[in-house]
Amino acid sequence: MYTAVRWLSRGKTLGRVFLLRRELATFLQDQGHKNAYVRDPHVFSRLAHLTDGYEYVNKLNIELRGKGKWVFGLQSAIKAFISKPQMLRKEAETDSYSLFHHYLEFTAAKDIDFHETLDQAKEKHDLLDYLQNLTRDMNARFPE
């Protein structure tokens, strides 16, 4: 139960930080914080990716909880989740981000005055690396 609550809390926290990104950036700047991350588009892009990723983890966690679940159903849910990063990677390789709705929201919104522009090629490379590592970790945790 502790693990379930921790995962849900991280996912919800990331989601709330993402929703409040404009306000947080403005607040930190108004308070005199001169850290570069306040106006760095790469930080917010990665936040969007993490928010999307944890959303999938939260869905799996909710699906695995509860009494009266069959082992075969749980195993099927885990196998489906293991294949999710591969599917997301294929989507990102073709520059299709339809499954990354927080990232799409971030790239569509021009509501924060960044000091630099977002390097889409670097962000795509970082996302593909992240998804590859996630796939490797999932396969190591849940071997066939």
pLDDT tens by residue, 12-54: 888 888 888 888 888 888 888 777 677 778 888 899 999 998 8
Q: Which amino acid is at 47?
A: L
Report the pLDDT value the prediction gives residue 5, as an integer from 0 to 100.
Answer: 56
Per the prediction, the chain carries an average pLDDT of 83
Greater pLDDT, 34 or 131: 131
Q: What residues contact 104, with CB distance under 8 A and at least 6 apart?
A: 97, 98
More confident: 97 or 4: 97
Residues 83-101 have pLDDT tens digits of 888 899 999 999 999 999 9
pLDDT at 129 over 90: yes
Q: 95-113 burial by CB neighbour count: b if 16+ within 10 A, else e?
A: eebeebebbeebbeeeebe
Say if residue 75's pLDDT is above 80: yes
Instruction: Measure Cα distances from 2 to 9, 61, 77 in Å.
Output: 10, 12, 20
Tokens representing 33 are 């914080």
Q: Which residues contact 116 (CB under 8 A, 6 or more apart)?
A: 40, 41
pLDDT, position 6: 59
Residue 114 has pLDDT above 80, yes or no: no
